[in-house]
């Protein structure tokens, strides 16, 4: 059985410094099979499960809630875009060479804001 999850590159305000970049994920809330409708052959998802907002289904799991980060090792905090540590974050996150084109686009967007 293969499993996967989506990761999001997040830019947000921070408590310690002005900004934070992190690799974010949503929580898996419940197994998706209870929301599958055989008549329409698709999921009928509620807007919320408990207090968590529902965003979708992946790998037979309903995901939602707030984006969270796994580790402080994969977080970069900075006060202005030109800081040295910001330019190294893709390598620090261990993004491989296959992502080089995407990384360059993201870097150029960050340095323009």
Query: How confident is residue 7, by pLDDT bands cut at 50, 70 and 90?
Result: confident
Domain ranges of the chain: 8-112
What is the structure's pLDDT at 102?
A: 65
- Phi and psi at 80, nearest 5°, equal -145, 150
39-95 pLDDT, tens digit per residue, is 999 999 999 999 999 999 988 899 999 888 776 667 778 787 666 555 666 666 666
Contact call for residues 76 and 66 (beta carbons, < 8 A): no
Contact, 107 vs 100, CB < 8 A?
A: no
What global pTM score does this model have? 0.63
Residues with Cβ within 8 Å of residue 108, at least 6 apart in sequence: none
Residue 10 has a pLDDT of 81
Closest-CA residue to 79 (of 17, 28, 33): 17
pLDDT at 2 over 50: no
Reported as a pLDDT band with limits 50, 70 and 90, residue 16 is: confident
The strand pairing partners of 43, in sequence order, are: 36
pLDDT given at position 1: 41
**Confidence check: pLDDT of 110 > 90:** no
Top pLDDT among 10 and 39 is at 39
């Amino acid at each position: 059985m293969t499993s996967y999850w989506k990761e999001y590159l997040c830019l947000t305000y921070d408590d310690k410094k002005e900004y934070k970049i992190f690799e974010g994920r949503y929580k898996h809330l419940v197994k998706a099979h209870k929301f599958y409708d055989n008549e329409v052959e698709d999921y009928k998802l509620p807007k919320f499960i408990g207090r968590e907002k529902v965003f979708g289904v992946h790998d037979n799991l309903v995901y939602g809630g707030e984006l969270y980060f796994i580790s402080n090792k994969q977080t970069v905090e900075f006060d202005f875009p030109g800081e040295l540590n910001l330019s190294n974050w893709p390598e620090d996150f261990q993004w491989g060479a296959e992502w080089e084109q995407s990384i360059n686009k993201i870097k150029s967007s960050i340095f323009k804001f």
